[in-house]
Amino acid sequence: MKNMTLALGLLISSFAATAADMSNGADNFYKSDKVTQQKVTFKNQYRMKVVGNLFIPNEMKQNAKNPAIIVGHPMGAVKEQSSNLYAQKLAEQGFVTLAIDLSFWGESEGKPGHLISPEIYSDDFSAAVDYLSTQPYVDPEKIGVLGICGSGSFVISAAKIDPRMKAVATVSMYDMGSAFRNGLKHSQTLEQRKAFIKSAIEQRFAEFKGGETAYIPGTVNKLDDSTPAIQREFFDFYRTERGGYTPQGEKAELTTKPMLSSIGKFMNFYPFNDIETISPRPMLFITGDQAHSKEFSADAYKHAGQPKELYIVPGAGHVDLYDRTDLIPFAKLGTFFKDNLK
């Protein structure tokens, strides 16, 4: 009985440890008193309204032409998750910054919500360049882009065909095409991929006939003994006070969950094809040395043209770089954009 009690105690302690808060001083909902925030809207080329938060340094000279940076949120997230933080921290360094909601997410237009559409997502960044280029206090020749997680692949896709993006940075990047085709570390077989595609098409047809929308699991809504470590990592951000955020009119349990019927769009998404054509515009890839997504930044760096840099943050996992201000290299990002948006 004593041994059984001890074993049960160890089991409970182990589960408590894995379910515990892993934020370690994270500050996703940071509010800076050094910048002014305003909501802005503009149209992408599909005539869809894109909504963003514009941050302007309080000390900025309004009658001068200033450099600007567009910030994209993690896939399935919204601008209030990670990108607002990055936008404010970079605005504190003197940049005009714009954190946007991708189409079909957050406050931006797109029906049905949560539709996967990497081509439209990428166009949202070009639309943000359009918008910033019309502002009298922004130098249209000094606009950079920053993509976090899935947005890293979208800004690369955009920059390949939009030379107005003068400097490109990614943090904890996911190649959303490879992730869906191959899985992490190419763990998904061709047969599994085909089965996934088949289920998506069956769901598409069901919805065409009036059936209810189905969603990819995304972040789980609760933990149990079988929850994998990567899902626990995302849960700690998206399903807790650390980073949980539900846009107005949405159901909390659906946040981060894309539509199953649209996954074929990612299967057919190859953002790193021709990545070398972005050169000679500079690229910076930031990832954690413990990040499960590190393979994507390494792959992009391998194929990118010069100048390029792969910057690895010691002790950082994938989600750590969403909001852990003690680990995120904001100074490195600031220097990168200052040097390349001269």
Yes or no: say if 225 and 15 are a contact pair by the CB < 8 Å rule: yes
Taking alpha carbons only, the member of 278, 24, 27 closest to residue 165 is 278
Establish if 260 belongs to a structural domain: no
- Partnered with residue 310 across adjacent β-strands are 285
Tokens read off for 264: 């074929």
Regarding beta strands 35-43 and 49-57, do their DSSP bridges make them parallel or antiparallel, or are they unpaired? antiparallel
* DSSP 8-state symbol, 74: P
- For the cut 80, the answer to whether the pLDDT of residue 2 exceeds it is no
* Whether residue 112 has a cis bond before it, omega within 30° of 0: yes
Query: Which DSSP helix (H) or strand (E) runs through 37?
Result: strand 35-43
* Whether residue 282 has a cis bond before it, omega within 30° of 0: no
Residues in the chain: 342
pLDDT for 62 equals 83
pLDDT tens string 35-86: 999 999 999 999 999 999 999 999 998 889 999 999 999 999 999 999 999 9
- For the cut 60, the answer to whether the pLDDT of residue 10 exceeds it is no
Q: Chain centroid to CA 341: how far? A: 22
pLDDT for 25 equals 77
Count the Cβ atoms, other than its own, within 10 Å of residue 301. Answer: 19
Please state, in angstroms and rounded to a whole number, the distance separating the CA atoms of residues 333 and 325: 13
- For the cut 90, the answer to whether the pLDDT of residue 316 exceeds it is yes
Please state, in angstroms and rounded to a whole number, the distance separating the CA atoms of residues 235 and 128: 30
Taking alpha carbons only, the member of 91, 113, 83 closest to residue 37 is 91
- For the cut 80, the answer to whether the pLDDT of residue 23 exceeds it is no
Please tell me the total count of domains within the chain: 1
pLDDT for 338 equals 98
Establish if 179 belongs to a structural domain: yes
Establish if 236 belongs to a structural domain: no
What domain range includes position 122?
A: 29-185+266-340
pTM exceeding 0.75:
yes
Establish if 84 belongs to a structural domain: yes
Q: Which residues contact 324 (CB under 8 A, 6 or more apart)?
A: 23, 24, 25, 26, 27, 316
pLDDT tens string 122-170: 999 999 999 999 999 999 999 999 999 999 999 999 999 999 999 999 9
Establish if 129 belongs to a structural domain: yes
Establish if 312 belongs to a structural domain: yes
Three-state secondary-structure class, residue 30: coil
290 or 12: whose pLDDT is higher?
290
Establish if 142 belongs to a structural domain: yes
What's the order of all strands across the beta sheet hosting 49-57? 35-43, 49-57, 96-100, 66-72, 138-148, 165-171, 283-288, 308-313
CATH number of residue 310's parent domain: 3.40.50.1820
Beta strands in 44-176 (DSSP E): 49-57, 66-72, 96-100, 138-148, 165-171
Distance spanning both ends of the chain, measured CA to CA: 71
Q: What is the chain's mean pLDDT, rounded?
A: 93
Establish if 207 belongs to a structural domain: no
pLDDT tens string 110-135: 999 999 999 999 999 999 999 999 99
- For the cut 70, the answer to whether the pLDDT of residue 260 exceeds it is yes
Tokens read off for 172: 């904890």
Integer CA distances (angstroms), 150 to 10, 32, 65, 144, in order: 38, 25, 30, 17
pLDDT for 12 equals 33
- For the cut 90, the answer to whether the pLDDT of residue 13 exceeds it is no
Q: What is the 3-state secondary structure (H, E, C) of 323-334?
A: HCCCCCCHHHHH
